[in-house]
Amino acid sequence: MGQRNVIGIDVGGTKIAYGLFDEHGILLNRSQYPTDIKADGPSLCDSLIETVTAFVKENGLSFKHIDGIGICLPSYVKFDEGFVCMTTAIIGMHDFPMREYLETRLPVRIVLDNDSNAAALAEHRHGAGKGSRHMVYVATSTGVGSGIIIEGKLFRGSYGWAGECGHMLATPDEGVLCGCENKGCFMSYVGGRFAPDHVKLNLEKGIPSTLSSCDQIDCEAILKAYENGDCLAGKMVESMAHWLAVCVYNVYQLLNINLFVFGGGLVHFGNALFGRMRKEFNRFDHLGYPVEFKFAELGKDCGIVGAAELVRE
């Protein structure tokens, strides 16, 4: 193997995925470990150090063969400093100099960024947005976020967290409390983590639904109930589609970017969610100029591909 291998690490709320890439960006091997969501900054990083060291050795390499490690996670990251301000995935990690901690303990360059930014890079270079001048990647999963490509480059803003569309306020001071410590942000209406809460609130009001007999109400259960004609599940999907459309339309009006790429776990809702969302968007868009919506192409490897691209950026 050459000397320019790169490792991409995607830190999520349930698992941490690792990918080894060659100098051409080809994925050579991948692995994953469960996430300790109760960890603080040092303990998470100590775990990363242990597992990435083992991952390197498992592939018959040493760190001298690694050009850099890119890490993405769902958080507010001050990119220039590699500083994690806050993350909703790792409860105990906030205001933590993550890059500095890792670089003083690993003999390799570390690049750290938000997971939506990394996914935007991945889809722009290798996926649905390849060749586009401008693009917005929208992550629709447990939460909602976005990464913005302008003139072929990732736009991070002044501090590093441009694109946090999920934390734009839809109904300020009203609704469910989000991890950002605000009520009424778009994430609390669209994010998969919050959908079960809205269903439970409706069930408590006595609204009939087959979901009342579910042992665990999650997005998969909501989708199944919707497909079986459940009225409450249908209203839930309609609500999610409406608020996602409002969010995307606001981003479109602000940036005037005409390509949106949607990724994350909620894409499995398919036309049920995104077809409705498209109709809502069109209802708002009175000018009617072409705006393209695509699904992401890289699937489960999007995070590790994007994390690796951070090193090459």
Domains of the chain: 5-122+301-312 (3.30.420.40), 128-296 (3.30.420.40)
pLDDT of residue 1: 44
pLDDT tens string 191-237: 998 999 999 999 999 999 999 999 899 999 999 999 999 999 999 99
Alpha-carbon torsion (152, 88, 277, 230), positive or negative: positive
**Helix, strand, coil percent content, the chain, rounded in steps of 5:** 40, 25, 35
Residue 185, phi-psi category: left (phi > 0), alpha (psi -120 to 50), beta (remainder):
beta
Distances 212 to 205, 208, 215, 224, 272 between C-alpha atoms, Å: 12, 8, 8, 13, 21
How many angstroms separate the Cα of 211 from the Cα of each of 139, 141, 227, 290? 26, 20, 12, 39
At residue 264, φ and ψ (nearest 5 deg) are 100, 175
- Tokens (6 digits) for 161: 């967290």
**Per-residue confidence (pLDDT) for residue 142, from 0 to 100:** 87
Looking up tokens 């776990």, which residue turns up?
A: 265
- Check residue 262 and give its pLDDT: 98
CA distance 242 to 235: 10
Give the pLDDT confidence score for residue 3 in this predicted structure.
Answer: 61
- pTM as predicted: 0.94
Amino acid letter for position 160: G
Q: Lay out the sheet containing 15-21: strands in order across.
A: 27-34, 15-21, 5-11, 66-73, 110-114
b/e per residue 29-52 (b: at least 16 CB within 10 A): ebbbbebebebebeebbebbeebb
Predicted pLDDT at 12: 87
Provide φ and ψ at 231, rounded to 5°: -65, -45
Q: How many whole angstroms separate alpha carbon 251 and alpha carbon 31?
A: 35
pLDDT at residue 37, rounded to an integer: 82
d(CA 244, CA 248): 6
Listing DSSP states for 102-151 in one string gives HHTTSSS-EEEEEHHHHHHHHHHHHSTTTT-SSEEEEEESSSEEEEEEET
CB 17 within 8 A of CB 55: no
The predicted structure's pLDDT at residue 13: 80
Flag residues of the chain having pLDDT under 70.
1-3
